Amino acid sequence: MIEEPSTLTAAKEVLFTLGVVLAGGSVAAVLAKAVRAPDVVVYLLMGIVLGPDMLGLVRVEASSSFNQAILIFGASYILFDGGASLRFGVVRSIWRTIVLLSTLGVVVTAVLVAGVMHFLVGVPWILAMLVAAVVASTDPATLVPIFKQVAVRARLSQAVMAESAFNDATGAILTFTVLAFAVGAGDSSLWSAAEELVKQSALGVVIGVVFGGLAAVAMSGRRYGLLREFAPIVTLMAVAGAYLSADRYHASGFMAAFVFGAMIGNRDAFGLRMTEYAALKMSSFVTEIALIMRLLIFVLLGSQVSFELVTEYWLEGMATAAALMFVARPAAVFLATMLDRPAAWTMKERLFLCWTRETGVIPAALAGLLGALGAPGADLIAAITFVAILTTILVQAPSTRWLAAKLGVLEQPRELSGLSL
């Protein structure tokens, strides 16, 4: 009997994994709808059930190329979807808050979380700062879907979604700056980190604007809109292109994808209106692809939770999660909103912002990367990151609608689409 090539065996394993993840995710989506919970919460739980520590049907290493491809493209596409919901008129009045939360807010969060870990749990300062930097940024792959399902005031949802898109660059730069100090690299400084942040952010915005402008022209109903009938395919190409182009020039790929979406969502402001048929077709396509991407991301993420590591470091993880939710986030929100007086945030809006800072895909990716680089305390970092992810998603995400209703910041109930066309 001819032996089956290893590549064919690997391909079959990937197909099997995809089939199991999609099947499990479909069941999770039905359950989420039945209990009226954010679907990302149930996807995460389904992943834990399917993972190696329970049923053992899904075994995908976090560092595998398959997992990284799903994470990168999925998060980029979800960000594109979130960016397309952004409205320039709304953002114009709250841009200072977004910038402050995405920069100063991340630093404040990291310092306060590190302080709690060091003084209450006894984690050494440099390791505490490294862990805190990893979990300091919020997660667009979690927050964007939540605000597609929970209709709160536009400026609240758009502030949170924009912050989650922009602060991944701050979190990544802060993480590797702290890592450089931890391993004794002498060429790192706060000034160089600030310069790198400005460079990555600005270049990411420019690349997103370029891709968004070109795509909007190509999909427009005007005579030069040659790709208007292929708008869904254009979104796939442009999201991947924006991310990879930004990454090639060491800019924020996720920011580029988000800004690209914002350009498409606000194309009418530039006189680039699409035909009604093309707009509806693209809206339906983007909604379905974004759904598939978050299903894949969170089922896979759940399957990678290590019960052994979580059990070993549960105290450190819970202390970190509590510091994130009850100390660092409120401090960052009140500082940013007080500095942005023109936005005139109400106390109820501030309290709602304090509770919306789920941790997810980006911190998980940073923790995995630090493990691959052999960073000091990599196991501790991975365990605490997963506990923070599980806690913030399982506690904060399901309570978002309830809190919004209690604070009176819900909009009129409506079914949100993937793109506001």
The whole-number average pLDDT for the span 77-87 is: 83
Q: Give the pLDDT score at 22.
A: 93
Asked if pLDDT for residue 348 goes beyond 90, the answer is yes
Q: Give the pLDDT score at 110.
A: 93
Q: Give the pLDDT score at 420.
A: 47
Model-wide pTM > 0.75? yes
Encode pLDDT of 184-209 as tens digits.
Answer: 655 556 667 677 777 888 898 899 99
Region of poorest pLDDT, from 101-105, 136-140, 326-330: 136-140
Q: Give the pLDDT score at 340.
A: 92
Asked if pLDDT for residue 7 goes beyond 70, the answer is yes
Confidence band of 415 (pLDDT split at 50, 70, 90): very low
Residue with more model confidence, 244 or 72:
244
Domains of the chain: 20-54+83-407 (1.20.1530.20)
Say if residues 151 and 412 touch (Cβ distance below 8 Å).
yes
Q: Give the pLDDT score at 418.
A: 42
Q: Give the pLDDT score at 184.
A: 66
Residue with more model confidence, 273 or 114:
114
The whole-number average pLDDT for the span 223-241 is: 83
The whole-number average pLDDT for the span 49-71 is: 86
Q: Give the pLDDT score at 75.
A: 82
Q: Give the pLDDT score at 412.
A: 61
Confidence band of 417 (pLDDT split at 50, 70, 90): very low
Say if residues 372 and 64 touch (Cβ distance below 8 Å).
no
CB atoms within 10 A of CB 58: 24
**Residue 65 token pair:** 């190329």
| Beta carbons within 8 Å of 22's beta carbon, 6+ residues apart | 292, 295, 296
Confidence band of 210 (pLDDT split at 50, 70, 90): very high
Say if residues 329 and 74 touch (Cβ distance below 8 Å).
no
